[in-house]
Amino acid sequence: MSEPAIKIDPKTGLKVFNTRAAKATERIQGKGYSIISDSSLTTLPELPPGATFNAAEQAKYREFKETRRGADDYMAMEGEFTRYLADVYSAEPVPRESLHDECEIFIVGAGFAGLLLWYRLKAAGFQDVRFCEKGGDVGGTWYWNRYPGIACDVEAYSYFPLLEEMGYVPSMKFASGFEILEYCQAMATKFGFYEKCLFHTTVDTTLWDEKTGRWTVKTDRGDVIKARYVLLANGILTTPKLARIPGMEKFKGESFHTSRWNYHIDLTGKRVGIIGTGATAVQAIPELAKTVGELYVFQRTPSSVDVRDQRATKDEERAAWANEPGWARARRARFAKISAGRTAIQANDDYLAGKVADFKERKTYDRELSMEELMEKQLEANFRIMEQIRARVDTIIKDPKTAAALKPYYPYGCKRPTFHDEYLPTFNLPHVHLVDTATTGGVREINERGVVHEGVEYPLDVLIYATGFQWMATSTFNMIIGEGGKTLREKWVEDGTKTFLGLHTQEFPNLFIVTGPQGGGGSFNFTDAIEAHSEYVAWLLTTMRDTGVNKVDIHKEAEVRYADHCAKADIATAPLRDCLSYYNDHGKAEPGSLAYYGGNRWHKFRRDAQESLEPYRFSKI
Ligand code: NAP
C-alpha cells in the first residue's frame, strides 16, 4: 500500500508529507549545449580596426533603443490563456486533506532557494518547517523550464549549491537543465526535504495577525496554516508572461510557452514559429532546428550572442576536487570577486581553480580617475566587446540581411547576455527563417493559421511563446497583507519599493523575501545571493531563538536609507545599462526598485546590521 499523503512522525509529533507527484512524461529533448570542435565558432573574432564609441556609434545605439520604446506589451496568462500555465510535467496532484494547523516556519517555493533554506535551517536545529510549492516536484526554475537545449549560463561548478555536501561534480562546465533538475531531486532526497513539502499547492493569501503574532496562510488546496515566520523563496523570474498580440486567441494550431514545454506535441517535420529571441530562445532554437520541418523565428530585438565553449568536466578536475575539501565554496567565492559580467561568464579556469591569483591583468593609471572618466572607460570597453560580438555575426551568417538583423546595438549586459556556439549557424540552414519584426515593434497579428507580419502570412502548425517572465514581481506580492492592512504590492506602489537588504520590509514582521527587489548577495551568480540570504535568515532566526524574542520588524529609517542606497547605486551604473529591457521594466522602473546594483556593498549593510542590530525592532508576543 502506498504511503499516506500526510502522517505524523512519532519522534517529533510533526506532520510529514508524501505529496511529490509522479512524472507525466519521460520525453525530453536536447540536453543542453553540445561540445563544438570548430574553433571559429568558439572564439570571438578580432576587434574590427578603428572601433571606438564615438558620436556616430552612440547615435546608432540611441536610435536602436528609440525604435523599440513603448513596444513592450505583455499580459498575464489569465482567462482563456490560463491553460498555458498547466503543469505539463507531473501527473495529477496527490490527493490529500486540507490542513488546518500551525507550524513555526512556512516557506513558499522548492527551488534552489527553498532547498538551501531547508539545509541551513535544519542545521540550525529548526524542525517545524514546512514548504509549499506550485509544481509537482522540486527544482523551481529547473522544474518549469525544460525546453530543448536548456543549460545553466553560470559555470556549473560555481552555480550548483552544496556540491561538497552532495559529493557531486557536474558533468559539464555548463550543465544541462535536466542534470540540474535531477540534482535538485537528489538534494531533496538526501536532506529529507520531500517530507517537508506540500507539492501542487499555491498560496492564495497571507495575513498578519498582531494579536497572535502569526501569519495565516491560505492555499488553493483549502489549507489554513498559522505560521510564526513566512519566507518567500519563489523566485525572481517565476511568472511567465505572454506578448499581447491581436488575434492570438484565434490560432487553431498547437501553442505553448517555453516554461511549459509540451513534449506531448511532436514537432518532427512541423512548421513551427517561435516569438522572442531572449536567453531562452537562444538555447532552444538550435535544438528546434534539428527536429522541425520549417522554423520561423520572430525577432524584435537580437540578443548578444557570445561564445560558449562548452566542455566536459576533466578527469584531473574530478581528482583534484576529490582531495580538496571546500573546493566548490572556494571557487564560488573567487567567482563572486569578478564583477564584470563577461569576464565572469567566460570565467578563467586557472583563476577559478585557485592556480593564479587574479582573473585579469589590472590596469594601472598614473592618477586617480573621476567617476565620469571611469564610466567612459567602461563604456568604451563595453563597446569593444559588442563590436566583437557583432563581428561574430558577420563571420558566421551568410545572408547579409539576416546578419544585419541579428546584430545588437546596446551596451553589453544591458539585456541578459547570451552564449551559444550553435545559435548563429542555425540561421544559415535553409529551413530556418528569421523574421525581423523591429519595425512594427514586434509581432502585431496572429490569425487562425499563424503569424502575419507586414502583410505576409506565416502558416504554422505550432506556435511557441518565448516571451519571458515577470521580473522581480511574483503575484504573491499581491496576496500578503501586513500589519498596516496593505498588501506588499500596495505598500511598494504607494510608497516606492523599500526594503532592508531586500529581505525585510516594514510593517511585514516575520516575513523574509529571498532574492526579491533590492535583494542581492553582491554577485550575479544567483546561488551566491541565495546562499547569502539563507545564511542570513538562519542567523536571524537563531539569534531570535537564543534571545527569547519572536517578532522582528525593521525601523523605517533602515529601509529608507537602504532604498536610497539602492537608487543611488542604480543611477550611478545606469549608463552601462542604457537600453530597454525587462531589467528596467523597459525604461519605466524607478531607480533602485528592481534588481540590486550595489555589488558587495550589500554585504556591508548586512554585516553592520548583524553587529549593531540597529535596524531591527525585536519583541515578544
Ligand atoms: P526574455 O528575455 O524576457 O525574452 C522575451 C523575448 O520576447 C524578447 O526577445 C522580446 O523582445 C520578445 N518579444 C516580446 N514581445 C514580442 C513581440 N510582440 N514580438 C516579437 N518579440 C517579442 O525571456 P526569456 O528568453 O525567457 O529569458 C528570461 C530570463 O530567464 C533570461 O533573461 C535569464 O535571466 C533567464 N534565463 C536563463 C537561462 C540560463 O541561465 N540558462 C536560460 C534562459 C533564461 P524585446 O527584447 O524586444 O523585448
In SS3 terms, 465-498 reads as ECCCECCCCCHHHHCEECCCCCEHHHHHHHHCCC
Checking if the pLDDT of 348 tops 80, the result is no
113 phi/psi in degrees, rounded to 5: -65, -45
CA–centroid distance, residue 272 to ligand 1 (Å): 18
Kindly provide the b/e burial profile for residues 133-151, where b requires at least 16 CB atoms within 10 angstroms of the residue's own CB. bbbbbbbbbbbbbbbbbbb
Taking the C-alpha atoms of residue 429 and residue 607, their distance in angstroms, rounded to an integer, is 54
Reported as a single tens digit per residue, the pLDDT across 424-453 is: 999 999 999 999 999 999 999 999 999 999
Checking if the pLDDT of 359 tops 80, the result is no
Lowest mean pLDDT among 109-118, 227-236, 468-477, 500-509: 468-477
Tell how far CA 419 is from the center of its chain: 16
How confident is the model at residue 477, as a pLDDT?
Answer: 82
Task: Identify the helix (H) or strand (E) that includes residue 456.
Answer: strand 456-459
Taking the C-alpha atoms of residue 187 and residue 532, their distance in angstroms, rounded to an integer, is 19
Residue pair 109/235 in contact (Cβ under 8 Å)? The answer is: yes
Ligand 1 atom closest to the CA of 277, numbered from 1 = 9
Residue pair 606/536 in contact (Cβ under 8 Å)? The answer is: yes
Reported as a single tens digit per residue, the pLDDT across 8-52 is: 999 999 999 999 999 998 778 888 889 999 999 999 999 989 999
Is 242 near ligand 1, meaning CB less than 6 Å away? no
Taking the C-alpha atoms of residue 134 and residue 141, their distance in angstroms, rounded to an integer, is 12
| Strand intervals (E) in 54-137 | 74-75, 100-108, 129-132
How confident is the model at residue 486, as a pLDDT?
Answer: 95
Neighbours of 298 (CB within 10 A): 25
Residue pair 101/107 in contact (Cβ under 8 Å)? The answer is: no
pLDDT band at 342 (very low <50, low <70, confident <90, very high): low
Is 149 near ligand 1, meaning CB less than 6 Å away? no
pLDDT band at 356 (very low <50, low <70, confident <90, very high): confident
Is 443 near ligand 1, meaning CB less than 6 Å away? yes
Taking the C-alpha atoms of residue 476 and residue 4, their distance in angstroms, rounded to an integer, is 29
**Cell numbers 510564526 label which residue?**
228
Nearest alpha-carbon partner for 351 in 333, 325, 326: 333
Best probe residue, ligand 1, of 467, 526, 581, 584 (max atoms within 8 Å of C-beta): 467
pLDDT band at 343 (very low <50, low <70, confident <90, very high): low
3-class DSSP state of 112 = helix
Average per-residue pLDDT for the chain: 93
Is 108 near ligand 1, meaning CB less than 6 Å away? no
pLDDT band at 372 (very low <50, low <70, confident <90, very high): confident
How confident is the model at residue 301, as a pLDDT?
Answer: 98
For the residues 510-539, what does the mean pLDDT come to?
A: 89
How confident is the model at residue 361, as a pLDDT?
Answer: 65
Ligand 1 atom closest to the CA of 153, numbered from 1 = 40
Checking if the pLDDT of 274 tops 90, the result is yes
pLDDT band at 602 (very low <50, low <70, confident <90, very high): very high
pLDDT band at 521 (very low <50, low <70, confident <90, very high): low
Q: How far apart are the first and last CA of the chain?
A: 44
Q: Within 13 Å and on the Cβ side, how many CA atoms surround 447?
A: 8
What is the DSSP code string of 201-258?
--EEEEEEETTTTEEEEEETTS-EEEEEEEEE-S-SS-SB-EE--TTGGG--SEEEEG
For the residues 604-617, what does the mean pLDDT come to?
A: 98
Reported as a single tens digit per residue, the pLDDT across 200-230 is: 999 999 999 999 999 999 999 999 999 999 9
Nearest alpha-carbon partner for 575 in 277, 387, 376, 303: 376
**Residue whose CA is closest, atom 35 of ligand 1?**
279
How confident is the model at residue 246, as a pLDDT?
Answer: 97
Residue 121: all three cell numbers together: 535551517
CA–centroid distance, residue 134 to ligand 1 (Å): 22
Is 151 near ligand 1, meaning CB less than 6 Å away? yes
Is 113 near ligand 1, meaning CB less than 6 Å away? no
Checking if the pLDDT of 474 tops 80, the result is no
Taking the C-alpha atoms of residue 405 and residue 301, their distance in angstroms, rounded to an integer, is 9
Whole-number Cα distances in Å, 605 to 231, 456, 509, 613: 20, 55, 19, 11
Reported as a single tens digit per residue, the pLDDT across 53-100 is: 999 999 999 999 999 999 999 999 999 999 999 999 999 999 999 999
For the residues 159-164, what does the mean pLDDT come to?
A: 96
Checking if the pLDDT of 1 tops 70, the result is no
User: Full-prediction pTM beyond 0.85?
Assistant: yes
How confident is the model at residue 429, as a pLDDT?
Answer: 98
Taking the C-alpha atoms of residue 491 and residue 507, their distance in angstroms, rounded to an integer, is 9
**Residue whose CA is closest, atom 15 of ligand 1?**
243
Taking the C-alpha atoms of residue 297 and residue 39, their distance in angstroms, rounded to an integer, is 26
Taking the C-alpha atoms of residue 589 and residue 518, their distance in angstroms, rounded to an integer, is 13
**Residue whose CA is closest, atom 24 of ligand 1?**
468
Torsion region of 331: left, alpha or beta (phi above 0 gives left; psi -120 to 50 gives alpha): alpha
Taking the C-alpha atoms of residue 259 and residue 237, their distance in angstroms, rounded to an integer, is 11
Is 200 near ligand 1, meaning CB less than 6 Å away? no
